[in-house]
Amino acid sequence: MTIRSRYLCITIDTECDKGAGWKVEKPLGFAGVTDGLGQRLAPLFRAHRAKPTYLLSPEIMRHDESVALLRTLAKESDLGTHLHAELAEPGAYVPDETAAFQRDCSEDEERAKLTTLTDSFKSTFDRKPTCFRAGRFGVGKNSVPILESLGYEVESSVTPHMEWASAGAPGLDFRGAPTQPYHPDPNEPGRPGSSRMWEVPVTIRPSVLARVPIVGKLAEPRWLRPTRGTEESIVLVAKEELAAALAAAPERPAILCAMFHNVEIVPGKSPYAKNESEARAILSRLSALLSFCEREGVSVVGLSDLPEILAP
């Protein structure tokens, strides 16, 4: 009997420092990179022999100290891109909040901003990026064809069981999206279709109350995300998704995709950790997930590694 392969990607949206209410710190700050990646995350991933995936927002590649650190981390990490449209040329500016959904850009504007983001990654790291996530998960009907034309192989903005109308994006609706990787419809990333690239959805499980009438509609889906919850609850989401993937397709590798932001694990740089003990609690939940994967033989790989792993 063959042992079925199981993998975890830890994807980290990597951006400038924010604060309470996600307000962008001005002038731009990068403690979430220098302290967050350099002092907190990289040692933790090293201790667990895990390869993280840092998805880089445009402003990161304009900050010399962040770039120097990321060049050293590139040996032990996967790097990709992350679009916050306000911060990408052409027309880059520093907003009070990174609120844009790229699907609301015109096709030409979305293409132009993704092109400058991709080019700045290439000139910074001397290779092309192959994995991507939209800021605020805001992919739309033009995103996948543009990303494919720029050479991307993995898109990771789909959030199953979620819809984002109340966040300002009516119609950005991933309820019913698969929870395991698939080739997306070119114009509807939340549905399977004929695209060459892979969609790797963020691992999100329905609420345990989802099937209860009325109450179920209000209950929050559970993300594979260390931001909130307990060490037990994040491990439970991982276990459930692995079991569901195995039951649905026993012959395929099972993939988990955890996400959070670099700024979450540095005090005062996001709404999630006001102080050191809250930041440490997020790191402890991340560590619990990594320990579970070590015990269970789940390999922690980069998003860019998945096309080879998923190839038939």
d(CA 89, CA 111): 11
Residue whose CB is less far from Zn ion, 38 or 135:
135
Residue with tokens 């959805």: 201
Judged by CB under 5 A, does residue 36 bind Zn ion? no
Q: From the CB of 129, what's the least distance to Zn ion, in Å?
A: 15
Strand locations in the chain, DSSP E?
Answer: 6-14, 52-56, 78-83, 131-134, 154-155, 184-185, 188-192, 198-199, 204-205, 222-223, 254-261, 299-300
Between residues 6 and 225, which has the closer beta carbon with respect to Zn ion?
225
- Candidate ranges 6-14, 33-41, 163-171, 235-243; the one touching Zn ion (CB under 5 A): 6-14
Please tell me the distance from the alpha carbon of residue 38 to that of residue 40, in angstroms, as a whole number.
6
* Candidate ranges 59-67, 105-113, 127-135, 250-258; the one touching Zn ion (CB under 5 A): 127-135
Residue with smaller CB distance to Zn ion, 11 or 130: 11
Q: Give the C-alpha separation, 49 to 280, whole Å.
A: 20
User: Does residue 264 bind Zn ion (CB under 5 A)?
Assistant: no
Start-end of H helices in 130-230: 143-149, 215-218
Least Å from the CB of residue 133 to Zn ion: 8
Q: Compute the distance between CA of residue 10 and CA of residue 66 in angstroms, rounded to an integer.
A: 20
Of the candidates 262, 249, 226, the one whose C-alpha atom is nearest the C-alpha of residue 8 is 226
Using DSSP's 3-state secondary structure scheme, residue 78 falls into strand
Contacting range for Zn ion; rule: CB under 5 A; set: 8-16, 46-54, 239-247, 300-308: 8-16
Q: How many residues bind Zn ion (CB under 5 A)?
A: 2
- Distance, CA of 289 to CA of 225 (rounded, Å): 10
Instruction: Single out the segment in contact with Zn ion by CB under 5 A; choices: 31-39, 133-141, 161-169, 286-294.
Output: 133-141
The answer to whether 135 contacts Zn ion (rule: CB under 5 A) is yes
Q: Which is nearer to Zn ion, 111 or 261 (CB)?
A: 261
Which residues from 12-31 bind Zn ion, rule CB under 5 A?
13
Least distance to Zn ion, CB of residue 136, Å: 7
Binding site for Zn ion (CB under 5 A): 13, 135
